[in-house]
Amino acid sequence: MKERSSTASKVVTCVFVVLCIFWMIPIFEVLINSFKANTFVNTEAFALPNSESFVGWANYIKGMTFGNYPFLKAAGYSLLITVASVALILLCCSMSAWYINRVDSRFAKAFYYLCLFSMIVPFQMVMFTLTFTADNLKLNTPFTIPIVYLGFGAGLAIFMFSGFVKSLPLEIEEAAAIDGCGPIRTFFLVVLPMLKPTLISVGILETMWVWNDYLLPYLVLDRTKYMTIPILVQYLKGSYGTVDLGATMAVIMMSIIPIIVLYLFCQKHIIKGVAAGAVKG
């Protein structure tokens, strides 16, 4: 039995290694093409850079300054939107999940199921109404769009937080109440520290989503004033609509490196948080 289990484990490992290689190929292609001259990106997309095609950091420098909209400005707006949206999602959804599990009422149950239902509603069904509403409520700036992201990110976040809150011992909160803590102090001083594994995992997953999101900012933001990195990539065009693919690949690479680094450093927390939110309770 042990030999069969060991063999099956090796087979599964080999399968996942092959899948991992296939997943890494597109990123590798973007990386090598970001160091090639534009002509060679079109003609030799799958070839490694050589002495003739290699241009060093020229594409990265050009990507930082190409077009009428600075890359650093777009990166700043992307960072602002991501940090504000994730912070809002973590705070509001963790509090909501705690309320749902501690208050036994029809309203709490209905609110929970509505959040779950929002996870299966396609974005395309609401995007036109959302654009109209965002414009009327002045939610079309990087400072207000986090409210929109809160609505779309609440489903997954509340689902994961609720699964973990169910496993928390109620006696600790009762002891805090006996010591004079009100609901707000109990949440921030007692419950929130215990939610750390799920906070980290939800934060990373939501960060990856918001940072890489293209459609929602494209529809909501006033593109004459504000652009995120995914939107900026679309506008990296020269005269007559020509596209510098080398510079475009460099910009794409600069946009995905922060998320890759974040995921590599925090992947163990994602696994712990997902397991805690999905299994416990």
Q: Name the strand (E) or helix (H) holding 245.
A: helix 245-279
Chunked mean pLDDT (size 10), the chain, 281 residues = 71 89 89 89 86 88 81 93 96 93 89 88 84 88 94 90 87 87 90 88 90 92 88 73 81 89 78 56 43
pLDDT of 158 reads 93
Residue 235 has, within 13 A of its CA and on its CB side, a CA count of 20
Q: CA geometry: angle at 279 spanning 118 and 159, to 5°?
A: 20
- Taking the C-alpha atoms of residue 162 and residue 94, their distance in angstroms, rounded to an integer, is 8
> Residue 62's pLDDT is what?
86
pLDDT, position 206: 92
Q: Which residue type does 253 have?
A: M
Phi, then psi, of 54 in degrees rounded to 5 = -75, 130
Note the pTM of the prediction, 2 decimals.
Answer: 0.87
Report the greatest alpha carbon distance in the chain: 75
- Report pLDDT for 237: 67
Residue given tokens 């414009």 in the structure block: 135
64-279: CATH topology = MetI-like fold (1.10.3720)
Question: 107 to each of 90, 100, 114, 161, 262, how far by Cα in Å?
Answer: 21, 9, 10, 18, 37
Cβ(148)–Cβ(134) below 8 Å: yes
What pLDDT was estimated at residue 141? Answer: 92
Of 42, 73, 40, 71, the closest CA to residue 54 belongs to: 40
What is the per-residue pLDDT for 273? 61
